[in-house]
Structure 1
Amino acid sequence: MGYRVVVAGATGNVGREMLNILAERQFPADEVVALASRKSIGTEVSYGDRTLKTQDLEQFDFTGYDIALFAIGSDATKTYAPRAAKAGCVVIDNSSLYRYDPLVPLIVPEVNPDAIEGYAKKNIIANPNCSTAQMVVALKPLHDRAKIKRVVVSTYQSVSGSGKDAIDELWNQTKGLYVPGQEVEPKVYPKQIAFNVIPHIDVFLEDGSTKEEWKMVAETKKIIDTSIKVTATAVRVPVFVGHGEAINIEFEEFLDEDEARDILRESPGIMVVDKREDGGYVTPIECVGEFATFVSRIRQDSTIENGLSLWCVSDNLRKGAALNAVQIAELLGNRMLKKG
């Protein structure tokens, strides 16, 4: 049995990646339709060895389609997700619009697959924030063993998380610094991103945190356990693709670093590369195009009673967005088959 699948936002970075991953993972689709805004109608996008021409999202009838992967931002999602859901098409949404809705499951398939049963309440499933997705993949198996009390995380997030204009800004600023008179002023970011780091992602909140940091707190609680305390510092770095995270974890029980390493090696979606030598770890540039979340630098934190520190990297356009959405679609398809 094959599914009729829609990818909305097919001309964007995440939408194109969704199409790539559907093809790579041989998702059982009898039909795949690429949708875009009116200005992009007719744009050609790749789906495996085929080329699809985008259709108009505004005029599209979702009736008869099974699954829609949305990568169109919160404003457009607010209009089109309910339309698709009402037509009987299950929406897997990559925006933040539904993540905190108690009637909408927020899913990372390696972490909380059973929560997908709640999709029928609105016919919508939410995809988490990119920085949260990779972190909870690493946290959940450790939480199951020793119960996490508190997480302190600093992120090192690539510019692709801000879209194509941000990628162009980093590229053009970098070139401009070497050519007198061709310097490029910041537009996407409040400060220069080339050869710099910016401790500011999304808007500032009243307590001094940014919304990106708040998302990591709220989503970790919803996905894993409401009792976990999380504090985050989210930083934009001059990397094109791939997010890094330095994570410090306090547990209720003692967890030896060797046991933690073994647990992570056996956990779904994780690749442990942890040698205490030069280059014995994974960096963002090495994870580009990969499905796994990579964990390195696992070590005891002697400053607290039950603590570990680790380093985590992942392709943010994949696990942080498109891959996770396709994995949700696979999970949903399996549940549909069982019920069918």
Structure 2
Amino acid sequence: MGYKVAVVGATGNVGREMMNVLVERSFPADEVFAVASRRSLGAEVSYGDATLKCQDLEQFDFSKVDICLMSAGSSVSKVWSPKIGAMGAVVIDNSSCWRYDQDVPLIVPEVNADAVQGFTKKNIIANPNCSTAQLVVALKPLHDAAKIKRVVVSTYQSVSGAGKDAMDELWSQTKGKYVPGQDVEPNKFPKQIAFNCIPHIDVFMEDGFTKEEWKMVAETKKMLDPSIKLTATCVRVPVFVGHSESVNIEFERPITADEARDILRDAPGVQVVDKREPGGYVTPVEAAGEFDTFVSRIREDATVENGLAMWIVSDNLLKGAALNTVQIAETLIGRNLLKAAA
């Protein structure tokens, strides 16, 4: 018997990708429901060859589903995830609402699948921030081999991480209307995003870091190792889909670039593309639509003892959101932690 799955926020970028991933991975769902806010009532979304009409979040009966994939934002999740969990469905939430709650496991299956068992406290599991998800997939096997002391990461994050309006803004600023030197009125972003880079994602905190940068620190510590020191600079770039990261890692034990390359080639969810020649690396264009996280430019960093530098790229709508959410559901099923309702 298969499972009944509700996708909340089904009309958004990530919600639509969740539908696609469920189909592509042949998730054992007997029935899938598209759920959204009242303003999207009746809107149609694709689920494989089928077309589903969105149902109203406030009227939907969640007691008839086993799993709820939630991608409707923190404010909605804060109100609805506990209600849905209390009805018996396991909520896998893509927002930042529950990531730092001690009673809610924060999961990347390739990294800390064992922690998923903690979901029973609230019937909620959190999906990490998109920039953290791809980072820890690459860090985990290296940490197991040589123990990471410190990470310095600079991100180059696509506009899709800020939603459809952000993608529309980049498109409108680049589709032939823009002339260099011409003033552009930003809306979604604080400055022009076309042909530009903005070193500011989420709100600023008192210490001068942004909340996006803080998320990477807190989530890496929660999922991988609280002793790891991490500092981040998060930058929005004029790319539609795919986050990139330049990463410097300091280890406790010696590890060579060749050793790291071999370790990562055997790691789940990772592909190494690392030819030391023009084009011998992966960019966001190649990563878009792919499930794996790609690692390139692996090299030894002579400025610190036991140091490596590398380039990490992944589709932020997939591994950073929809794919990881579905993988968490697969982990629950694979470990016999979730039984389909009769």
| TM-score > 0.5, shorter chain as reference | yes
2:8 maps to a residue whose letter is A
1:1-340 alignment, distance < 5 Å:
1-175=1-175, 177-178=177-178, 184-336=184-336
Q: 1:176 offset after TM fit, Å?
A: 5.5
Q: Figure out how many residues of one structure are paired with residues of the other and give that number.
A: 340
Q: Secondary structure at the match of 1:144?
A: helix
Residues 117/193 of structure 1: CA separation in 2 closer, same or farther (3 Å cut):
same
Q: Is the Cα contact below 8 Å between 1:176 and 1:182 reproduced in 2? A: no
Q: Is the Cα contact below 8 Å between 1:257 and 1:300 reproduced in 2? A: yes
Q: Secondary structure at the match of 1:34?
A: strand
Q: Is the Cα contact below 8 Å between 2:117 and 2:337 reproduced in 1? A: no
Q: 1:179 offset after TM fit, Å?
A: 6.3
Task: Work out the CA distance in 2 between the residues paired with 1:198 and 1:180.
Answer: 17
1:51-94 Cα deviation digits (max 9, x unpaired): 10000011111113110000000001111111110000000000
1:20-63 Cα deviation digits (max 9, x unpaired): 00000000000100001000011110011111000001111111
For the aligned residue pairs, the C-alpha RMSD in angstroms reads: 1.5
Q: 1:246 offset after TM fit, Å?
A: 0.3
Task: Work out the CA distance in 2 between the residues paired with 1:161 and 1:244.
Answer: 12
Task: Work out the CA distance in 2 between the residues paired with 1:40 and 1:118.
Answer: 33
TM-score, structure 2 as length reference: 0.97
Task: Work out the CA distance in 1 between the residues paired with 2:103 and 2:177.
Answer: 49
Q: Is the Cα contact below 8 Å between 1:248 and 1:310 reproduced in 2? A: yes
Task: Work out the CA distance in 1 between the residues paired with 2:338 and 2:327.
Answer: 17
Task: Work out the CA distance in 2 between the residues paired with 1:294 and 1:98.
Answer: 28
Task: Work out the CA distance in 2 between the residues paired with 1:45 and 1:131.
Answer: 27
Q: Is the Cα contact below 8 Å between 1:173 and 1:183 reproduced in 2? A: no
Q: Secondary structure at the match of 1:204?
A: coil
Q: Is the Cα contact below 8 Å between 2:3 and 2:30 reproduced in 1? A: yes
Q: Is the Cα contact below 8 Å between 1:165 and 1:188 reproduced in 2? A: yes
Q: 1:178 offset after TM fit, Å?
A: 3.6
Q: Secondary structure at the match of 1:95?
A: coil
Structure 1: gaps spanning 5 or more residues: none
Task: Work out the CA distance in 2 between the residues paired with 1:204 and 1:184.
Answer: 24
Task: Work out the CA distance in 2 between the residues paired with 1:145 and 1:181.
Answer: 50
Q: Is the Cα contact below 8 Å between 1:134 and 1:312 reproduced in 2? A: yes
Residues 339/66 of structure 1: CA separation in 2 closer, same or farther (3 Å cut):
closer
Moved more, 58-67 or 4-13: 58-67
Q: 1:177 offset after TM fit, Å?
A: 4.2
Task: Work out the CA distance in 1 between the residues paired with 2:110 and 2:180.
Answer: 50
2:294 maps to a residue whose letter is F
Q: Is the Cα contact below 8 Å between 1:202 and 1:212 reproduced in 2? A: yes
TM-score, structure 1 as length reference: 0.98
Percent identity, aligned pairs only, is: 73
Structure 2: gaps spanning 5 or more residues: none
Q: Is the Cα contact below 8 Å between 1:176 and 1:184 reproduced in 2? A: no
Task: Work out the CA distance in 2 between the residues paired with 1:264 and 1:339.
Answer: 34
Task: Work out the CA distance in 2 between the residues paired with 1:255 and 1:70.
Answer: 40
Q: Secondary structure at the match of 2:64?
A: coil
Task: Work out the CA distance in 1 between the residues paired with 2:182 and 2:84.
Answer: 46
Task: Work out the CA distance in 1 between the residues paired with 2:268 and 2:184.
Answer: 43
Q: Is the Cα contact below 8 Å between 1:176 and 1:183 reproduced in 2? A: no
Task: Work out the CA distance in 2 between the residues paired with 1:339 and 1:12.
Answer: 28
Q: 1:287 offset after TM fit, Å?
A: 0.5
Q: 1:174 offset after TM fit, Å?
A: 1.2
Task: Work out the CA distance in 2 between the residues paired with 1:6 and 1:336.
Answer: 20
2:78 maps to a residue whose letter is K
Q: Is the Cα contact below 8 Å between 1:272 and 1:294 reproduced in 2? A: yes
Q: Is the Cα contact below 8 Å between 1:172 and 1:184 reproduced in 2? A: no
Task: Work out the CA distance in 1 between the residues paired with 2:180 and 2:272.
Answer: 44
Task: Work out the CA distance in 2 between the residues paired with 1:251 and 1:55.
Answer: 50
Task: Work out the CA distance in 1 between the residues paired with 2:332 and 2:208.
Answer: 38
